[in-house]
Amino acid sequence: MTEVVRIENITKTFGTVTANRDVCLDVRRGEILALLGENGSGKTTLMNMLSGIYFPDSGKIYINGEEVVIRSPRDAFALGIGMVHQHFKLVDVLTAAENIVLGMPGGLLVNRDETAKKILEISDKYGFIIDPWKKIYNMSVSEKQTVEIIKVLYRGAEILILDEPTAVLTPQEIDKLFDVLRKMKDDNKAVIIITHKLGEVMVLSDRVSIMRKGECVDTVPTPDATVQSLAEGMVGRALSLSIKRKEPENATDKLVVSGLTCLDPTGRRTLDGVSFTLRTGEIMGVAGIAGSGQKELCESLTGLQSIHSGAVTYIGDDGGKTELAGLTPSEVTGKGIRIAFVPEDRLGMGLVGNLDMVENMMLKSYRRAKGIWVDRKTPKAAAVKLIEKLQIVTPGTAAPVRRMSGGNVQKVLLGREIQSEPSVLVVAYPTRGLDINSSYTVYDLLNEQKENGVAVMFAGEDLDVLLELCDRILVLCGGKVSGIVDARTVTKEEIGVLMTHLSKREDAV
């Protein structure tokens, strides 16, 4: 196998942060190389330098043995390097074909027939299914990804880089994608897949390069590696990869949701007749393809989403019922009901990035102070306590929270919400972007809440985690409940089917 890409001693810094330090890497023709590392380990930065987005501070890149300088994505394309980014870069109002030829050299006019023919040739060759004239805004996430991959192939890429391509796909779609990638490998292309999922590395790749804190710590042939050895390489020390799960104790109904329906501004139903019951002392998972109504569900339980119809009934410890639909967050709090919410967008909704930790603690407490003055003493004490309890790494309570790492930001947010001693805790994608250690801290905190008798709802994207952590899993499909299943007995594939095909499965748990 011949070497197509060689990266030598690449270093890239952003301010004081060293994203890559002396990284060396090689990729061969006809292989799939997995670039494994935690979030923030520098995988994407490295690949962005290969695809011309960033320019390295120092180091050399060789393509087919020749030293090259890649100044722009155009240079990268000229060298046969194509990257499919995690966040798609497509123009919504254009068709697949238009997006694919966008930015290509040539005249203003697109030769429709020829373009379509070439696109279909590529799809046939690798087993894609695509309609070249479908508009992007009508496409599912998986279709959009297909467009991105074809876009790269259309430009004649011989070296393909895919950044976390499976994050947004269902298990079935992932299998299909892997088939496509294997065909590319058989076609003698070089494929680099950026990922932090160990399972994927094992089933797909030929070799794996492990990155940790900006450095490439090891490259091994996949057959020589185990999930455990890879995880230890990523984190840098031994760790146990299991989540403990206790049986729920004295589960009683806490939040009864029935017929919940929400509309988006265009009148489309984002949630459609959703009914379920959240119980104390259990963790209820919410699964679904991205954008199936998870966000709306979380927000309607916390008063942030306007509810079109349906009821959200809170059952107090004394059995008294309170209707929450139609109340604002402050009205819910005003009734003495403590529903805590850790939103998906941590710095855009749960916290204010430019404010310091004390001011962020105040978001929840400032209203309680009497008179016109803000009380900084209580939240400051709370912040200090939180730093100690969750071992938050921060220069101090006066540093803006956006300066903290993702894991510490999440500790501040989740910690603040738990400190409010909620009876219902709603968390959305709490471990997205977090390293393994922080993720396990989050799981432990959620389990601790469950054992304290809190009703926990957990919207997640990693099915393995949902299956290990939750007691029941509610599967959403297009805003409707496709099934509520027992997390102890259901399989990943079954959930995958429920995510894409509406059914009415309900396990008695």
11, 22, 30, 78: which one binds other proteins (CB under 8 A): 78
* 343 lines the binding site for other proteins (CB under 8 A): yes
Candidate list 122, 176, 311, 366; residue touching other proteins; CB under 8 A: 366
With CB under 8 A as the contact rule, the residue among 317, 345, 421, 464 that binds other proteins is: 345
Q: Which of 185, 187, 228 is nearest to 207 (CA)?
A: 185
Task: Establish if 373 lies at the interface with other proteins (CB under 8 A).
Answer: yes
Q: Is 367 in the site for other proteins (CB under 8 A)?
A: yes
Residues 6+ apart with CB under 8 A from 381: none
Q: Which stretch binds other proteins (CB under 8 A): 314-322, 364-372, 380-388, 422-430?
A: 364-372
The dihedral region occupied by 378, where left means phi > 0, alpha psi between -120 and 50, and beta the remainder, is: alpha
Q: Is 341 in the site for other proteins (CB under 8 A)?
A: yes
- CB under 8 A: which stretch of 122-130, 140-148, 244-252, 329-337 binds other proteins? 329-337
Give the 3-state secondary structure of 153-171: HHCCCCEEEEECCCCCCCH
CB 382 within 8 A of CB 397: no
Window contacting other proteins (CB under 8 A); options: 61-69, 108-116, 167-175, 483-491: 61-69
CB atoms within 10 A of CB 453: 18
Alpha-carbon span 305 to 12, nearest angstrom? 42
Region from 109-117, 160-168, 343-351, 483-491 binding other proteins, contact rule CB under 8 A: 343-351
Which region among 37-45, 62-70, 306-314, 426-434 touches other proteins (by CB under 8 A)?
A: 62-70
Cα–Cα distance between 433 and 431 in angstroms, integer? 6
Q: Which is nearer to other proteins, 328 or 437 (CB)?
A: 328
Under the binding rule (CB under 8 A), the answer on residue 68 touching other proteins is yes
Of 314, 286, 318, 225, residue with least CA distance to 427: 286
Asked if 322 is part of the footprint of other proteins (rule: CB under 8 A), the reply reads no
Judged by CB under 8 A, does residue 352 bind other proteins? yes
Tokens of 168: 């947004």
Q: What three-state secondary structure class fits 341?
A: strand
Q: Which of 108, 238, 372, 508 binds other proteins (CB under 8 A)?
A: 372
Q: How far is CA 66 from CA 54, 61, 186, 501, in A?
A: 20, 8, 24, 50
For other proteins, give the closer residue by CB, 81 or 184.
81
Q: Which is nearer to other proteins, 125 or 402 (CB)?
A: 402
354 binds other proteins (CB under 8 A): yes
Question: Binding of other proteins at residue 79 (CB under 8 A)?
Answer: yes
* Member of 4, 47, 70, 152 binding other proteins (CB under 8 A): 70
Work out whether 353 is an interface residue with other proteins (CB under 8 A): yes
User: Which of 369, 465, 502, 509 is the binder for other proteins (CB under 8 A)?
Assistant: 369
Q: Give whichever of 76 and 201 is closer to other proteins, judged by the CB atom.
A: 76
Can you tell me which residue has the tokens 């850790």?
342
Task: Determine how β-strand 253-263 pairs with β-strand 309-315.
Answer: antiparallel
Contact between residue 338 and residue 301 where contact means Cβ atoms under 8 Å apart? no
350 binds other proteins, rule: CB under 8 A: yes
Q: Is 281 in the site for other proteins (CB under 8 A)?
A: no
Asked if 76 touches other proteins (CB under 8 A), the answer is yes
Stretch binding other proteins (CB under 8 A), from 150-158, 356-364, 430-438, 448-456? 356-364
Amino acid at 89: K
Size of the site for other proteins (CB under 8 A): 43
Give the nearest distance from C-beta 149 to other proteins in angstroms: 22
Among 228, 328, 491, 503, binds other proteins (CB under 8 A): 328
Angstrom CA distances, 330 to 310, 322, 347, 463, stand at 20, 15, 20, 34
What distance in Å separates the CA atoms of residue 151 and residue 145, rounded to the nearest whole number? 10
Among 98, 158, 356, 359, binds other proteins (CB under 8 A): 359
Angle, helices 171-186/492-500, rounded to nearest 10 degrees: 100
> Are 177 and 160 a contacting pair, CB within 8 Å?
no
d(CA 272, CA 475): 13
Q: Which residues, at least 6 apart from 135, have a Cβ–Cβ distance to it below 8 Å?
A: 92, 93, 94, 95
Helix (H, G, I), strand (E, B) or coil at 32: strand
Contact residues toward other proteins (CB under 8 A) are 13-16, 55, 57, 66-71, 74-76, 78-79, 304, 328-330, 333, 341, 343, 345, 348-355, 359, 362-364, 366-367, 369, 372-374
